[in-house]
């Protein structure tokens, strides 16, 4: 029984012969029996899964319908899933129907095999359906379609204009920079900022620069939730949170998932907290970049933008192009075109105005155009009132203070396109704009701050700080705003009585001198400015002007002005550029006078004694260009009663002084300028020749170099002899010119601290100067020339070094321009140890330095083996002229004295140790260099930005550069080679340059392509045979002009293939006969 009870498992006997086949059969039978017995169970599971799939399918389909309703595209993976689900449901239903048919036969188990197969299908299909359901968990099912890139700009409502296109391209290039993540665009209302950034969004999306682009309009009343919603909509994000913080978290998470996203925040009026909105940027997400627009530059500063663009009104050409594209062909009708051009000009370059005006007149007849022109000129046009006025009025309303608003309205009331900032300041001081400030310098600082704030608000035009300009339309708006609270500015002829109510009178266009009764009853006038009038022999009576604080009589012809002394409240008197021979002694009674301007009163000869010293409250004195004043010479008997220069020392409140002396003997012994000077422009020359060297002889020079006219820095000295008088000013001077100076071998003699504030240094003809600076002598060598930006040295025939010994400080670290001329003992410019400080050097000009052998020199011969590269990262222009002994820019190669062959290798001007990645212009004249570029430059790209190359009278050159250098000079546009007697070819084959063949290496370069070369000039080259001796192919796709003159041995331009533009202007001159034609240069080959 025990033996019979034990039934061995198949695995126990599987090793026996033949048992494995039997086991397989048994397993198969068991599986089939299992399918038969599980028939109902498998069918029920299948039907359950089919229903689950249908429910899942319905849910996905609902999401699809909703997405399509929102205009979104359905992801392919979702569409494929729905298709698969439909197919498998249909297949399942078919199988179930087959089962039902068999069951309805009433035979419960006659078809065991069919029952088995169906059960097996049920199980398999159930698993498939389960897998399909698992794949239905889509995070997103749709996306917003990318714009149709075939749409033209005009169909988008955008007109491509040159000025806007260039700015768009520049912004797009910056957006490609991984270090740049926040860009600002600012400009006045209506100038087209929104249009610009909308086009930017379209273009970057089309170009594939960003995967997502969002634009949010901020406005002057920012709503954080609304901003979040605008960005979320662009990113297909539904913000379900109610709180701003919760929405910010969701938005930040979504933006971080986007690899590249551009967010445009349009029309920001105040600082916006980006983290509170939910915008990650910078280190948090370097793929998120922002473009911000605002009317005020200050807002961009608060937002810490990295690069700002100022979008100004359209230039006249762009303005007209936009106008005619919108208005259509009607503007070309003979009767309308001249009117249309005037209408376009009246729109002042503002797209906000151009667009509606052009659209409104598109189908109008000529009479409607005339009416529109009249209305625009009178500021009565509907579009001006509806569009421009509200936009600019809003900018005005957002000005921070009432003082700013008053200044804006005041500038608008002038009726001038621009006004000198100092003249404006005089008026403002006279009117008491800065009543809370007691000192002129403090008031001026406030004044310039306000001017900058108005510029930053786009209510003033950008430009030089010393001139204030206002757009015509902005000025009209200012007048319109002002007219609501004050009467329109009266004219002299019609509204003479209205002058009696004025606080200021400014006129540049009076046709006649007012009579003595003109000012009667004008006791409230506080400032009076009159330009270019003749007041001879007397000024009209000014007695009624009892409140006058500032009087400006610039550029007038003046006779007797003693009546000015009766203006007891006068604080500012400006006579700049006027013709006056004598300053009346009565002026000393103006005891409240704070500012006296006599700039370029070149006819002024007499200033009575004690007049200057009597003006004890004087804070600013401008006498630049008054070089004919007959100063009293101390210790010399004279019948004249003129002022002595020493009177300046009694002006203890003087903070600003501009003065020039042509004769140094008028300066008293041991004279020192006032110690309180904060701003000064002082010229001391010992004769007219020195004056001309320092300034120039023409009248305009003083205006261009005057503090008053904005042409000089606030601390400027121009000196020959008597430099001791200015010694106390050397530690603060910013602009220093020294000519014919005596007794100075080292600038240490002038300032032991090394001129720490100096920005510009000009030295001319100082015959005793040996070097600029000796670090060993300086009290504080770390402060020497820290801020120097410009260095000009001329005719210093004893100078041997700029720096006598190495300097380990940051001296010359801000140097941008260096010019050295006729310094014959100078062997180099700088030592190698100082070259690392020249990171800001932009321009270099060296001429006629006969002893110069290198630009950068090594301190010690043994140091050469340790030399690294010299990198001048900002150098844009190099001009070398008449440097006959110059061997190399930087002689970093040691010549082996024991190897004769090494001594025969010519040094190149630029070797592999000199890196100038931004060099654009290289000009060489009258040089003895044998090679310009070292052969090893072939593997570098340190001249990739060179656009202009001029080589003249370099008689040791046999070729210009090796053929492989074309890999480097990819941006070359202009090449001029002239008067190089030994030059045979422009490009030499590399083996000719290197002195050895390249066997085994094959040709280094088969084709030479100058893709941007536009003009090529080859003149007076008696040995030039061809452009290149090798059989290279040349490409000049941009070449426009070729000038060949007196190259008698030139038989062919090149031996290889030549590809150029179809028409080139070619000029050839031999034996004074010129042959000129337009055609293909290859016909000259």
Tokens 């002396």 — which residue? 661
Average pLDDT over residues 12-24: 55
Q: What whole-number distance in Å separates Cα of residue 919 and Cα of residue 877?
A: 6
pLDDT at 862: 46
User: What was the pLDDT predicted at 627?
Assistant: 84
Is the peptide bond prior to 891 cis by the omega test (within 30 degrees of 0)? no
User: Regarding predicted confidence, which is higher, 928 or 484?
Assistant: 928
Q: What is the largest CA-CA distance in the chain?
A: 162
Distance (Å, whole) CA 188 – CA 183: 17
Rounded mean pLDDT, 958-975: 81
Q: Dump pLDDT digits (tens) for 893-923.
A: 444 444 444 444 568 888 878 888 899 999 9
The model's pLDDT over 170-224, given as tens digits with 9 standing for 90+, comes to: 999 899 888 898 999 998 877 888 888 988 998 888 888 888 899 998 877 788 8
Torsion (CA) 962, 966, 971, 974 in degrees, nearest 10: 50
Percentages (nearest 5) of helix, strand, coil residues in the chain: 35, 20, 45
Residue 53 pLDDT class (50, 70, 90 cuts): confident
- Do 608 and 634 touch, CB atoms closer than 8 A? no
Q: How confident is the model at residue 593 (pLDDT cuts 50, 70, 90)?
A: very high
Burial class (CB in 10 A: 0-12, 13-18, 19+), 18: exposed
Topology (CATH) of 403-489 = Arc Repressor Mutant, subunit A (1.10.10)
Q: What is residue 589's predicted lDDT score, i.e. its pLDDT?
A: 94
| Model pLDDT, residue 461 | 77
Question: DSSP string spanning 458-471?
Answer: TSS----TTEEE--
Distance of CA 111 to the CA centre of its chain: 89
Type and span of the H or E element at 350: none
- Residues 933-949 have pLDDT tens digits of 876 664 455 788 899 99
Is residue 81 classed as helix, strand or coil in its secondary structure?
helix
**How big is the chain by its Cα radius of gyration, in Å?**
42
- Over the stretch 255-313, which tens digit does the pLDDT of each residue have? 888 888 999 999 898 888 998 898 888 888 878 999 999 988 889 988 999 999 998 88
| pLDDT for residue 487 | 43
Tens digit of pLDDT for each residue in 752-763? Answer: 777 889 999 999
Backbone dihedral angles phi then psi of residue 65, each to the nearest 5 degrees: -60, -45
Strands (E), 824-980: 830-831, 843-847, 854-857, 870-871, 877-881, 888-890, 908-910, 914-915, 921-925, 931-933, 948-952, 959-962, 974-978
Q: What is the mean pLDDT of residues 421-433?
A: 88
Q: Which residues pair with 530 in a beta bridge?
A: 507
C-alpha to C-alpha distance for 667 and 726, rounded to whole angstroms? 11
Tokens 């070094």 locate to 801
Give the pLDDT confidence of 161-171 residue by residue, as tens digits: 878 888 998 99
More confidently predicted of 394 and 995? 394
Where do the H-state alpha helices sit in 584-699? 611-614, 688-694
CA neighbours within 13 Å on the CB side: how many for 763? 26
Calpha distance 710→688 (Å, rounded): 24
The Cα–Cα gap between 942 and 914 comes to 8
Token reading at 1059: 């590809």
Q: Where does residue 147 rank: exposed (0-12), middle (13-18), buried (19+ CB within 10 A)? A: middle
At 858-875, the pLDDT tens digits run: 876 545 556 678 889 999
The Cα-based distances of 969 to 265, 945, 1059 in angstroms read 41, 7, 18
Pairing mode of beta strands 212-219, 261-268: parallel
Spatial contact of 187 and 234, defined as CB atoms under 8 Å apart: no
**Nearest partner of 336 among 297, 366, 315, 379, judged by Cα:** 366
Sign of the Cα torsion 1013, 1014, 1018, 1019 reads negative
Query: Quick one: DSSP state of residue 907?
Result: P
Angstrom distance (rounded) from CA 169 to CA 183? 13
Q: How far apart are CA 364 and CA 344, in angstroms?
A: 15
Contacts 24+ apart (CB under 8 A), 163-166: 163/314, 163/315, 163/318, 164/192, 164/196, 164/199, 164/318
Two structure tokens written together for 973: 């546009």
Distance CA 449, CA 78 (A): 61
* Contact by Cβ (8 Å): 236, 214: no
**Predicted local confidence at residue 466, as pLDDT:** 78
Contacts of 44 (CB under 8 A, 6+ apart): none
**Beta-ladder partners of 760:** 735, 790
Nearest Cα to 951, choosing from 852, 1018, 1042?
Answer: 1018
* Element of type H or E holding 1075: strand 1073-1079
- Report the DSSP beta bridge partners of residue 1068: 1044, 1075
Q: Which residues contact 371 (CB under 8 A, 6 or more apart)?
A: none
Max avg pLDDT among 746-755, 1004-1013, 1019-1028: 1019-1028
Beta pairing, strands 73-74 & 212-219: unpaired
Give the pLDDT of residue 1053: 78
Where in the chain are the domains?
37-143, 154-310, 316-389, 403-489, 947-996+1003-1085
What is the rounded distance in angstroms from the CA atom of residue 60 to the CA atom of residue 66? 10
Report the percent of the chain where pLDDT is more than 70.
79
Q: What angle do CA 31, 35, 40 make, to 5 degrees?
A: 160
Measured between alpha carbons, how far is residue 451 from residues 456, 461, 714 in Å? 9, 10, 18
Q: How confident is the model at residue 836 (pLDDT cuts 50, 70, 90)?
A: confident
CATH class of 316-389: mainly alpha
Q: Is the pLDDT of residue 704 over 60?
A: no
User: Does the pLDDT of residue 1084 top 60, yes or no?
Assistant: no
Q: Cα separation of 478 and 404, whole Å?
A: 12
Q: Which pLDDT does position 925 carry in this prediction? A: 97
State the pLDDT at residue 31: 59
Question: What's the whole-number average pLDDT of the chain?
Answer: 79
Beta bridge partners, 880, equal: 846, 924
Judge whether residue 494 has pLDDT over 50.
Answer: no
What local confidence, expressed as pLDDT, does residue 723 receive? 65
Q: How far apart are CA 605 and CA 628, in angstroms?
A: 5
| More reliable by pLDDT, 99 or 546 | 546
607: nearest Cα among 563, 635, 640, 639: 640
Among the four given CATH numbers 2.40.110.10, 1.20.58.220, 3.30.40.10, 3.40.50.300, the one describing domain 154-310: 3.40.50.300
Contact 911, 890 (CB under 8 A): yes
Determine the 3-state secondary structure of 678 from DSSP.
coil
**Average pLDDT over every residue of 674-703:** 67
Q: What is the mean pLDDT of residues 786-797?
A: 92
- Cα distances (Å, whole numbers) of residue 923 to 663, 815, 911, 1020: 41, 21, 17, 17
Tokens of 372: 């529109």
Residue 472 has pLDDT above 80, yes or no: no
pLDDT greater than 80 at residue 716: yes
DSSP label of 618: -
Least trusted range by pLDDT, from 470-484, 731-745, 829-843: 470-484
Closest-CA residue to 831 (of 773, 783, 760): 773
Identify the three-state secondary structure at position 442: helix
**Count of Cβ atoms closer than 10 Å to residue 1030 Cβ:** 20
Mean pLDDT of 132-144: 82
- DSSP label at residue 145: P
Q: Give the pLDDT confidence score for residue 699 in this predicted structure.
A: 37
* Residues forming beta bridges with residue 948, ordered by sequence position: 921, 974
Of 54-58, 85-89, 356-360, 797-801, least confident by mean pLDDT is: 356-360
Q: What is the 8-class DSSP label of residue 666?
A: G
Query: What pLDDT sits at residue 892?
Result: 55
Phi–psi pair at 659, nearest 5 degrees: -155, 150
Over residues 356-383, mean pLDDT: 76
Which of the residue ranges 525-534, 617-626, 935-944 has the most confident prediction, judged by mean pLDDT? 617-626
pLDDT reading at 997 higher than 70: no
Torsions phi, psi for 618 (to 5 deg): -65, 125
pLDDT at 501 over 60: no
Question: Tokens 């050295």 — which residue?
Answer: 820
pLDDT at res. 107: 43
- What is the average per-residue pLDDT within 545-564? 91
């Amino acid at each position: 029984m025990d033996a019979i009870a034990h039934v061995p498992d198949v695995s126990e006997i599987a090793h026996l012969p033949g048992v494995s086949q039997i086991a397989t059969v048994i397993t198969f039978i068991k599986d089939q029996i299992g399918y038969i017995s599980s028939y109902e169970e498998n069918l029920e599971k299948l039907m359950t899964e089919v229903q689950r799939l249908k429910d899942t399918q319905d849910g996905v389909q609902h999401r699809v319908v909703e997405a399509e309703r929102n205009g979104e595209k359905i992801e392919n993976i979702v569409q494929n899933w729905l298709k698969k689900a439909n197919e498998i449901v249909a297949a399942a239903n078919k199988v179930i129907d087959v089962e039902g048919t068999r069951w309805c036969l009433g035979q419960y188990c006659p078809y065991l095999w069919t029952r088995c197969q169906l059960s097996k299908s049920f199980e398999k299909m159930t698993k498939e359906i389960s897998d399909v359901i698992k794949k239905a968990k889509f995070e997103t099912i749709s996306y917003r379609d990318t714009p149709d890139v075939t749409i033209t700009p005009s169909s988008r409502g955008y007109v491509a204009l040159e000025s806007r296109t260039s700015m768009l391209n520049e912004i797009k290039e910056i957006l490609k920079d991984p270090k740049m993540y926040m860009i600002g665009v600012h400009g006045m209302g209506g100038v087209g900022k929104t249009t610009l950034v909308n086009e930017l969004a379209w273009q970057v999306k089309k170009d594939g620069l960003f995967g997502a682009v969002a634009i949010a309009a901020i406005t002057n009343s920012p709503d954080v939730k609304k901003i979040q919603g605008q960005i979320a909509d662009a990113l297909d994000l539904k913000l379900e949170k109610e709180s701003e913080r919760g929405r910010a978290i969701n938005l930040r998470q979504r933006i971080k998932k986007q690899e590249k996203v551009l967010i445009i925040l349009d029309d920001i009026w105040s600082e916006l907290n980006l983290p509170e909105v939910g915008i990650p940027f910078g280190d948090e997400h370097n793929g998120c970049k922002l473009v911000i627009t605002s009317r005020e530059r200050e807002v961009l500063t608060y937002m810490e933008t990295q690069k700002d663009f100022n979008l100004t009104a359209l230039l006249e050409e762009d303005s007209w192009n936009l106008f005619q594209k919108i208005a259509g062909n009607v503007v070309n009708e003979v009767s309308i075109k001249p009117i249309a051009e005037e209408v376009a000009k009246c729109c002042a370059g503002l797209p906000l105005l151009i667009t509606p005006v052009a659209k409104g007149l598109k189908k109008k007849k000529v009479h409607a155009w005339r009416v529109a022109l009249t209305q625009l000129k009178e500021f009565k046009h509907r579009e001006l009132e509806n569009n421009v006025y509200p936009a600019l009025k809003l900018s005005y309303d957002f000005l921070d203070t009432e003082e700013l608003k008053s200044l804006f309205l005041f500038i608008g009331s002038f009726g001038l396109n621009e006004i000198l900032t100092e003249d404006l300041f005089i008026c403002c001081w006279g009117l008491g704009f800065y009543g809370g400030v007691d000192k002129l310098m403090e008031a001026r600082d406030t004044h310039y701050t306000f001017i900058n704030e108005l510029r930053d608000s786009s209510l003033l035009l950008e430009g030089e700080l010393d001139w204030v300009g206002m757009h015509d339309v902005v000025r009209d708006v200012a007048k319109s705003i002002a007219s609501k609270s004050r009467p329109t500015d009266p004219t002299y002829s019609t509204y003479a009585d209205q002058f009696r109510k004025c606080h200021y009178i400014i006129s540049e266009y009076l046709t006649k001198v007012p009579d003595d009764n003109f000012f009667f009853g004008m006791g409230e006038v506080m400032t009076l400015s009159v330009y270019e009038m003749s007041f001879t022999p007397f000024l009209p009576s000014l007695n009624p002007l009892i409140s006058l604080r500032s009087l400006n009589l610039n550029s007038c012809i003046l006779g007797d002005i003693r009546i000015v002394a009766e203006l007891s409240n006068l604080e500012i008197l400006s006579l700049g550029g006027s013709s006056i021979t004598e300053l009346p002694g009565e002026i000393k009674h103006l005891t409240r006078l704070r500012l006296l301007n006599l700039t370029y009163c070149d006819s002024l000869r007499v200033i009575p004694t004690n007049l200057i010293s009597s003006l004890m409250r004087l804070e600013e004195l401008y006498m630049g260009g008054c070089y004919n004043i007959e100063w009293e010479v101390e210790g010399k008997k004279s019948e004249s009663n003129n002022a002595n220069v020493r009177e300046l020392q009694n002006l203890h409140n003087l903070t600003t002084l501009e003065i020039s002396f042509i004769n140094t003997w008028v300066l008293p012994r041991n004279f020192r300028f006032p110690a309180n000077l904060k701003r000064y422009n002082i010229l001391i020359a010992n004769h007219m020749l020195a004056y001309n060297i320092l300034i120039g002889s023409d009248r305009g020079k003083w205006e261009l170099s005057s503090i008053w006219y904005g042409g000089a820095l606030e601390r400027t000295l121009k000196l020959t002899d008597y430099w001791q008088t200015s010694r106390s000013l050397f530690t603060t001077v910013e602009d220093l010119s020294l000519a014919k100076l005596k007794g100075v071998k080292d600038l240490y003699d002038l300032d032991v601290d090394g001129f720490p504030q100096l920005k510009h240094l000009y030295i001319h003809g100082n015959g005793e100067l040996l070097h600029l600076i000796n670090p060993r002598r300086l009290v504080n060598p770390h402060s020497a020339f820290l801020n120097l930006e410009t260095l000009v040295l001329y005719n210093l025939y004893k100078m041997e070094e700029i720096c006598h010994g190495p300097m380990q400080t940051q001296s010359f670290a801000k140097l941008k321009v260096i010019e050295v001329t006729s310094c014959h003992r100078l062997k180099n410019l700088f030592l190698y140890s100082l070259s690392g400080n020249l990171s800001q050097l932009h321009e270099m000009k060296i001429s006629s330095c006969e002893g110069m052998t290198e630009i950068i020199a090594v301190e010690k011969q043994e140091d050469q083996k340790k030399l690294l590269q010299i990198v001048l990262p900002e150098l844009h222009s190099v001009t070398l002229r008449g440097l006959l002994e110059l061997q190399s820019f930087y002689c970093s190669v040691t010549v082996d004295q024991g190897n004769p062959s090494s001594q025969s290798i010519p040094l190149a001007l630029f070797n592999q140790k000199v890196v100038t990645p931004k060099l654009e212009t290289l000009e060489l004249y009258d040089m003895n260099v044998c090679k310009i570029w070292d052969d090893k430059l072939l593997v570098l790209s340190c001249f990739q930005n060179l656009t202009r190359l001029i080589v003249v009278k370099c008689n040791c050159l046999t070729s210009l550069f090796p053929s492989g250098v074309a890999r480097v000079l990819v941006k070359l546009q202009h090449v001029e080679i002239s008067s190089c007697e030994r030059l045979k070819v422009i490009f030499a084959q590399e083996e000719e340059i290197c002195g050895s063949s390249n066997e085994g290496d094959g040709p280094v370069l088969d084709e030479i392509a100058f893709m941007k070369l536009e003009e090529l000039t080859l003149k007076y080259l008696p040995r030039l045979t061809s452009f290149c001796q090798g059989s290279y192919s040349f490409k000049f796709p941009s070449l426009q002009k070729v000038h060949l003159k007196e190259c008698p041995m030139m038989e062919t331009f090149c031996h290889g293939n030549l590809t150029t533009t179809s028409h080139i202007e070619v000029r050839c001159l031999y034996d004074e006969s010129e042959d000129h034609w337009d055609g293909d240069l290859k016909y000259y080959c």
